């Protein structure tokens, strides 16, 4: 059996970091957006447009994709640093550094660094925009959309290959251990783990969030080992994440039930 421990540890660490940042700075995002929350209909539309964006990525010119991704990442990085530091000037320095790095000093380390900044910002923002109910709806629809575009239309595969070839920060690239090599995971998958961990912590406390992050990471370790062993290519990681999150909810429910009986 071939296995890799780096990516599961990475998912666990980033999701806990996102949760810690949300518990510390989430109220500032609420202030920026006046406690705005997605409705169910808006959540459905969001996933629809995400699926449409995946399809459009297949046909869009590379320059348009480049401008779109760099602009979105720059905004998210600025937003995160501004909320954390409350200094617009300091926050405004990060996007130029990011864009300069992309064109002149780009490697796996810088790609992962700026990708993580973007996903942390998006996770904190989504943490206040989603409720518990809309989070469940979002995770379900996103998983279905991912399966549809991976196995049926193949748009997720084609667009993913284009984005990876352009070395854009919409994926994370981690070394594998003990297996020698590298593995690529879409930033949307990392974001989903962070969002689910944040929402679990909001609902049940930090301990529940840790159980969620640990369960997802452990299940991901097992699933990734099977995919590596049987040389499976593109696979909708959202299915693994959503199922693992469901398992974590069961574990948290059992733990809470035992606590109430004491």
pLDDT tens, the chain, 262 aa long? 788 999 999 999 999 999 999 999 988 887 777 778 999 999 999 999 999 999 999 999 999 999 999 999 999 999 999 998 989 999 999 999 999 999 999 999 999 999 999 999 999 999 999 999 999 999 999 999 999 999 999 999 999 999 999 999 999 999 989 878 889 999 999 999 999 999 999 999 999 999 999 999 999 999 999 998 888 778 899 999 999 999 999 999 998 887 777 6
What is the structure's pLDDT at 244?
A: 97
- What 3-state class would DSSP assign to 30? helix
- Does residue 210 lie within any of the structural domains? yes
Rounded CA gap, 45 and 51, in Å? 10
What is the structure's pLDDT at 230?
A: 86
Rounded CA gap, 107 and 93, in Å? 20
- Does residue 1 lie within any of the structural domains? no
- Does residue 250 lie within any of the structural domains? yes
Residue 261 burial by Cβ neighbours in a 10 Å radius (0-12, 13-18, 19+): exposed
Count up the domains in the chain and report the number: 1
What is the structure's pLDDT at 140?
A: 97
What is the structure's pLDDT at 262?
A: 65
């609420």: which residue's tokens? 30
- Does residue 82 lie within any of the structural domains? yes
Q: Is residue 46 within 8 Å of residue 38, measured between CB atoms?
A: yes
Residue 204 burial by Cβ neighbours in a 10 Å radius (0-12, 13-18, 19+): middle
Rounded CA gap, 255 and 249, in Å? 10
Give the structural domain span for 122.
6-261
- What 3-state class would DSSP assign to 172? strand
What is the structure's pLDDT at 33?
A: 72
Beta bridge partners of 171: 186
């Amino acid at each position: 059996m071939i296995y890799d421990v780096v990516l599961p540890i990475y998912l666990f660490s980033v999701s806990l970091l996102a949760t810690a940042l949300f518990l510390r700075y989430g109220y500032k995002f609420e202030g920026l957006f006046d406690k705005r929350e997605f409705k169910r209909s808006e959540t459905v539309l969001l996933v629809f447009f995400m699926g449409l964006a995946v399809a459009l990525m297949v046909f869009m010119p590379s320059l348009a994709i480049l401008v779109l991704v760099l602009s979105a990442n720059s905004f998210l990085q600025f937003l995160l640093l501004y909320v954390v530091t409350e200094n617009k000037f300091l926050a405004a320095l990060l996007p130029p550094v990011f864009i300069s790095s992309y064109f002149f000093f780009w490697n796996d380390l810088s790609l992962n660094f700026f990708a993580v900044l973007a996903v942390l910002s998006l996770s904190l923002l989504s943490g206040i925009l989603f409720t518990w109910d809309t989070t469940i709806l979002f995770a379900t629809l996103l998983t279905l959309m991912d399966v549809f575009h991976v196995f049926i239309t193949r748009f997720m595969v084609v667009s993913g290959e284009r984005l990876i070839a352009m070395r854009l920060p919409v994926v994370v690239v981690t070394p594998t251990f003990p297996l020698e090599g590298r593995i690529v995971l879409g930033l949307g998958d990392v974001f989903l783990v962070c969002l689910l961990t944040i929402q679990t912590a909001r609902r049940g406390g930090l301990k529940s969030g840790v159980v969620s992050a640990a369960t997802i990471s452990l299940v991901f370790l097992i699933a990734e080992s099977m995919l590596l062993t049987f040389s499976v290519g593109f696979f909708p990681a959202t299915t693994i994440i959503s199922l693992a999150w469901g398992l974590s909810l069961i574990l948290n429910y059992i733990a809470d039930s035992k606590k109430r009986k004491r």
